[in-house]
Amino acid sequence: MCLAIPGKIVELLPERENLALVEVSGVRRKIDVGLLDDDPAKAGDWVLIHVGFAMSKISERDAADQMRILAMLGEDEAAMQEIEGYGLGDSEPRPSEPRPLGSG
Amino acid sequence: MRFVDEFREPELIAKATQEIRRLTDSERLYRLMEVCGGHTHAIYRFGLKDLLPPNIELIHGPGCPVCVLPMGRIDDGLSMTDDREVIFTAFGDMMRVPGTHGSPLEYKARGADVRIVYSPADALKLAQANPDRHVMFFAIGFETTAPSTALTLTRARALGIRNFSVFCNHVTIIPAIRAILDSPDMRLDAFIGPGHVSTVIGCRPYEWIARHENKPIVVSGFEPLDMLESIVMLLRQLRDGRAEVENQYKRVVPWEGNRAALKAMAEVFQLRPYFEWRGMGFISQSALRLRDSYADFDAEQRFRIPGIRVTDPKAAQCGEVLKGVLKPAQCKLFGNECTPENPVGALMVSSEGSCAAYYNYEHRKAALTGLTALTMPAQAI
């Protein structure tokens, strides 16, 4: 939870305010961008994501660094599992196995 | 120098470590606390200690939300599953954390409806999809996750959803630092400030540490080079007799933080007068509860919560480790009764806890090379 996941905003979705499609290592999920209201998100922005919400904008280079850090810490799989687990916009969150303790 | 090969900029790493040696007075001991569990994990993973002179001691702070949650709160949260209408939701990190009568996962095995969510927004979604059930979200975390819970609650209210509640265990980092500084056996010289928490709260909330406690603090990124640079900045302040808040992680952390996130938190939460931290006892104004205007969504108001208190096991010395009085391996239980597989104390519960990080990297390494008995005196007993 301390470590954020970097992603790229693909598009803002019309179905609800502050809903955006984000891509993380090729996986696309919907996240909430309502916490960026002071500097609204737009397509092409890189963001740090915590628990399904974009928390800050970063540069592309910092996004790459953050992904590398997650990999070096052995947290990249847990991060991808988190991203894949986001169920916003689906009828229900996808069922999934519990992550190992403390991951993420 | 275990992981040096993985470092992206080895020449900069070498330069920073050289500068650290130059700035270090061999006559004195430097005790630096990294507040954030993510930093603790990174320090062990990257073997940063091996790059530092022996008189720089890194002390691992309270920044692991799973670790500092008292067992009684887990019991309280799980008590709501007695009502079979309730769907208990929590992050995956919580699922194996033991309560008195088992972890959330064990409750699930016994028939309770326990589900993992990766976002509070998904818990809300689940409530919308199950109008005949009640979805309770077990919220934990510092300021990195609290704004998301807050925004989810404002959305729930705007949507007029009636079958959703939050059992709020959000804590705030500043009072924990204050408690550590107020402790009589405290012996810290400076702080490595949290990275992603600071994207939300900014750097201003740390100013009292510099101004009133006369301790330097540097907000730091998570790269090995970030942390070494932060240590250089702290050592320079200590050498010059300065105590300031500095931001090494400027590329991500704005000085003012994230105002929209702070606004969402202020709208939904208020400070609790006090809250219990595992290993540290009660700390005043250190946690958040829902405001009365959100009482309909407050699990503590909607359910009869037993208010269970479970005393930390006496033999576990988590508090001393947190304050830097003891190192993880000096605790009597470390590695014997208390392991990551079978945690007794708070700091063994999550990989971001200092004891678990120490166990996973240092202890296992020592065991592999057959040095356990030599390097871990607590183990020999």
Query: What domains are there in chain A, each with its CATH number?
Result: 5-85 (2.30.30.140)
Q: A74 touching B, CB under 8 A?
A: yes
Residue pLDDT, tens place only, B26-56:
999 999 999 998 899 889 888 898 999 999 9
Of the listed ranges A51-55, B117-121, B314-318, the least confidently predicted one is B314-318
CATH superfamily of the domain spanning B4-63+174-247:
HypD, alpha/beta domain 1 (3.40.50.11750)
Inter-chain CB proximity B251 and A32 less than 8 Å:
no
Instruction: Please list, in sequence order, all residues whose beta carbon lies within 8 angstroms of the beta carbon of residue B166, skipping any fewer than 6 positions away.
Output: B120, B136, B137, B139, B149, B152, B153, B290, B297, B298, B299
Quick one: pLDDT at residue B6?
57
CA atoms within 13 A on the CB side of B31: 14
In chain B, residues with a C-beta closer than 8 Å to the C-beta of A59 are 251
Residue pLDDT, tens place only, B126-172:
999 999 999 999 999 999 999 999 999 999 999 999 999 999 999 99
Q: With cut-offs at 50, 70 and 90, classify the pLDDT of residue B242.
A: very high
Rounded to a whole number, what is the distance in Å from the CA of A94 to chain B's nearest CA? 9
- Restricting to B residues 145-174, those with a Cβ less than 8 Å away from any Cβ of A are 145, 147-148, 151
Residue B344 has pLDDT above 90, yes or no: no
Residues B247-256: what's their mean pLDDT? 95
Residue of B nearest to A54 (CA): B148
Residues B339-367: what's their mean pLDDT? 82
Q: What is the mean pLDDT of chain B?
A: 90
Helix axes B224-240, B10-23, angle to 10 degrees: 20
The token duo for B356 is 């678990």
Overall residue count recorded for chain B in this entry: 381
Residue B49 near residue B43, CB atoms below 8 Å: yes
Residue pLDDT, tens place only, A22-47:
999 999 999 999 999 888 999 999 99
Q: Is B320 or B231 the better-scoring residue by pLDDT?
A: B231
Q: Do domains B4-63+174-247 and B67-171+287-302 have the same CATH topology?
A: yes
Neighbours of B362 (CB within 10 A): 18
* Nearest-angstrom CA–CA distance, B242 and B97: 42
Residues B59-63: what's their mean pLDDT? 87
Residue B75 has pLDDT above 50, yes or no: yes
Inter-chain CB proximity A72 and B144 less than 8 Å:
no
Residue B142 near residue B197, CB atoms below 8 Å: yes
Residue B354 has pLDDT above 90, yes or no: no
Instruction: Please list, in sequence order, all residues whose beta carbon lies within 8 angstroms of the beta carbon of residue B369, skipping any fewer than 6 positions away.
Output: none
Of the listed ranges A30-44, A54-68, B301-315, the least confidently predicted one is B301-315
Inter-chain CB proximity B6 and A72 less than 8 Å:
yes
The token duo for B64 is 């692991």
Domain extent listing, chain B: 4-63+174-247, 67-171+287-302, 318-380
Quick one: pLDDT at residue B238?
97
pTM comes to 0.89
CATH superfamily of the domain spanning B67-171+287-302:
HypD, alpha/beta domain 2 (3.40.50.11740)
Could you give the 3-state DSSP secondary structure of residue B61? Answer: strand
Rounded to a whole number, what is the distance in Å from the CA of A66 to chain B's nearest CA? 8
In chain A, residues with a C-beta closer than 8 Å to the C-beta of B261 are 35, 55
Inter-chain CB proximity A82 and B126 less than 8 Å:
no
CA B185 to centroid of chain Cα atoms: 21
Quick one: pLDDT at residue A94?
47
Q: Nearest CA to B138 among B51, B66, B220?
A: B66
Q: Which residue of B43, B118, B152 to mutate against A (max A Cβ within 10 Å)?
A: B118
Residues A73-87: what's their mean pLDDT? 89
Q: Is B68 or B268 the better-scoring residue by pLDDT?
A: B268
Q: B213 touching A, CB under 8 A?
A: no
Residue pLDDT, tens place only, B214-231:
999 999 999 999 999 999
Which string of DSSP letters, residue by residue, matches A40-59? ---TT-EEEEETTEEEEEE-
Inter-chain CB proximity B199 and A56 less than 8 Å:
yes
Q: With cut-offs at 50, 70 and 90, classify the pLDDT of residue B372.
A: very low
Of A69, A85, A92, the CB nearest to B222: A69
Q: What are phi and psi of B134, to 5 degrees?
A: -115, 125
Q: B269 touching A, CB under 8 A?
A: no
Quick one: pLDDT at residue A90?
53
Q: A96 touching B, CB under 8 A?
A: yes
Of B45, B122, B258, the CB nearest to A55: B258
State the maximum Cα–Cα separation within chain B, in Å, rounded to a whole number.
68
The token duo for B200 is 């939300």
User: Which amino acid, residue B179?
Assistant: A
Inter-chain CB proximity B42 and A69 less than 8 Å:
yes
Q: B99 touching A, CB under 8 A?
A: no
Could you give the 3-state DSSP secondary structure of residue A7? Answer: strand
Quick one: pLDDT at residue B370?
56
Q: Nearest CA to B164 among B256, B261, B297, B255?
A: B297
Instruction: Please list, in sequence order, all residues whose beta carbon lies within 8 angstroms of the beta carbon of residue B241, skipping any fewer than 6 positions away.
Output: none
- Restricting to B residues 234-253, those with a Cβ less than 8 Å away from any Cβ of A are 251-252
Rounded to a whole number, what is the distance in Å from the CA of B321 to chain A's nearest CA? 19
